[in-house]
Chain A
Amino acid sequence: MRKNRLEIITIILIFIFTLIISIILEPYIENLHERSLDYAQILAEIIAFVFILPQVIIQLSIISRREDVKSVFSGCIPFYLGYYLIILLILSLNCWENFSNSYWHNLIILFTYISAILLIFPYLFFLINKYSADVILRTERRNITNMIIKVSQLNNKDSNNRDPKILENEIMTAVRELRDYVIAYSERSYIFYVKGINALTETIEQSFKKGTQNIDNILIEIIEILINIGFRIENDASRLILVERVSELGLTMIKDQQNEARINLLVTRMINLLENMTINGSKAASSDTVKTLLKQIDNIVKKCIRNEPVIKIEFHLIAETYKRLCIYSMAKNYEMCARDAIENLSYLCIQSMKKIPEQASVNKICEAYKEIGVRGAEIRNEILCIQIMNRFINIIIEFKNRYPDNEIEACMASLLEFVAYFWHGWSNVPKMRIWLRKRLNRMKRENRIPHKKYFRVTQKILEVKSMMSSNIFSDFVDEYNGEQFTN
């Protein structure tokens, strides 16, 4: 964009400058020898053909697909090229012959010749500029290749005999240097970007396998460096690669099964950083990126939960991540991603209830569902509201059946708060309110959870928690009971 702006300003300046010179010279044109005009025209045409024709050929031909050739010539398109082509057309067709008025006739001749000659300077400027940029690019490529080799060597078996402190310092220095190049390449060279990301993730992977707990802070720093790259890059495809590569790294760590504490520390932090990068990156993440991240987190969760014994990571933080990704997806209108997040959250909750009850944090997950549900009701997304309602009730039933001695008040309060927003959000859609009523009644009939029993306690909880929710809930209770009465 900056390059285009420079181009447009240059062209406008040349246009104005040429026009002024043409107006100044116009009274003197009669004194010029006719042959001088012929020479000027030939010169202008030669310049135009010599400099513009290769541009046109390169831009339109297959050669332009070659990155290096393209990068040299891409300095002056499309505005510059367009302007030059118009001048070339006027020159070739002698367009001034159409002007009977001698003032305009002379002005257009002067303007065309001067333009053709003057435009050569910015063209050369762009060309030299681009060429020197290409030389830098080549040098950088050599540097990045050397750096990748250096980082890989730090990971190979010879490094086992080195002092861990020195090795850690060497790794960090190499990684920081590599980071700057990876960021630079994220927008310029796909291959080098991917190579850089792979080198960084391999460093973490190898160091994790060989290292002890001492190295984990270093590894977290490298993960942060990786995510930092994600924050800075604007290209969503590059960010998607980062999400895939980093989460695969998480899976590798889990498969390695060295130490639960280390896995927990690294994987949880990694997921948290990935989520942060996706939601708060410089450019909004696409639905593909969000979907991929949700899928990868789901893979990590399944890997941990299905392991014998279960690898305990901070599942309540993962639940928070699902919640935030779901709300983000709703805000961006990525309905499929929101659906996936709701389903994943349900899986996480039910499986943790079954396999690691001490870590199940059902109340927190119910609170997360409530927040998602409130957002769903605000944006009035029918299918999401229905899905949340079903999953929410399912979790409460599971909780009640598994732990009959535990009180479900907190969960029911979250559910009923969501129900109040649901009721409020669909105030003018009787069909949805009827659905909601039927759903609650079925819960009462089939699962023996009488929702009305929890109205009073919910009201009390909401009075402390939020005035707005309390008012909405109070209106809901009045309308719900009133409508039922009139029905």
Chain B
Amino acid sequence: MAKILWVEDEARDQLIEYIGPLMRDGHTIDIAEDASEGYIRLQENDYDVVIFDLLIKAGIDFEMEEKYPGLSLLKRLFGSNETKIIEIEKVMVFTVVNDKSIVDEIHDLGIQNIQFKERMEKIMLKRYVDEILKSK
């Protein structure tokens, strides 16, 4: 039974189907709809798995210059000068952005687990989460 944070603005509507299999496994899934909310939630709680989208809204308290607020959030969390509030092994990027330069930037932050949403079965998110939980 894991606590999962999903930083995703479409998790409550278009992507809701991905949540069902995770719930059936007994997990609790918190949803942060923007980068700002995601950052605060990570400070408020300890999560076993954190799933990030890149194309999300910035949110009211989060200033950023990036095209992808999700990437800015990752930089704030895992940039070289930042104090880590979450272990990198618990992190997965789940996005439609399949751009090599962006992928390289994420890899440079130390995050290896990047999954693309394209044509993905609804059960796949649960499988990725299971892999992260097993590797712990």
Contact = CB atoms under 8 A, between A and B. Distances in A.
Interface in B27-82: 27-28, 30-31, 40, 44-45
Contacts of A446: 1
A389 B13 CA distance: 22
Interface bin, chain A: 20 to 34
23 contacts: A302-B40, A336-B13, A336-B16, A339-B12, A343-B30, A346-B28, A351-B44, A354-B44, A383-B20, A383-B23, A386-B23, A387-B23, A390-B1, A390-B26, A391-B28, A393-B26, A394-B1, A394-B3, A394-B28, A442-B1, A442-B26, A446-B1, A447-B1
B12 A336 contact: yes
Interface of B: 1, 3, 12-13, 16, 20, 23-24, 26-28, 30-31, 40, 44-45
B30 A435 contact: no
A445 B13 CA distance: 34
Nearest to B37: A302
Contacts of A394: 1, 3, 28
Contacts of B45: 350
A244 B27 CA distance: 32
Interface in A61-87: none
Q: Which secondary structure dominates chain A's binding surface?
A: helix
Interface of A: 302, 306, 336, 339-340, 343, 346-347, 350-351, 354, 383, 386-387, 390-391, 393-394, 435, 439, 442-443, 446-447
A347 B30 contact: yes
B30 A306 contact: no
Given A336-B16, A343-B30, A386-B23, 16 more contacts: A302-B40, A339-B12, A340-B12, A346-B28, A347-B30, A350-B45, A351-B44, A354-B44, A383-B20, A390-B23, A390-B27, A391-B28, A393-B26, A394-B1, A435-B24, A443-B1
B44 A386 contact: no
Nearest to A354: B44
A306 B26 contact: no
A206 to B, nearest CB: 23
A386 B24 contact: yes
Contacts of A350: 45
A391 B31 CA distance: 14
A446 B133 CA distance: 14
A442 B44 CA distance: 25
Contacts of A386: 23-24
A393 B16 contact: no
Sort A-B residue pairs by CB-CB distance and give the 8 closest, nearest first.
A394-B28, A386-B23, A390-B28, A439-B26, A387-B23, A390-B26, A383-B20, A442-B26
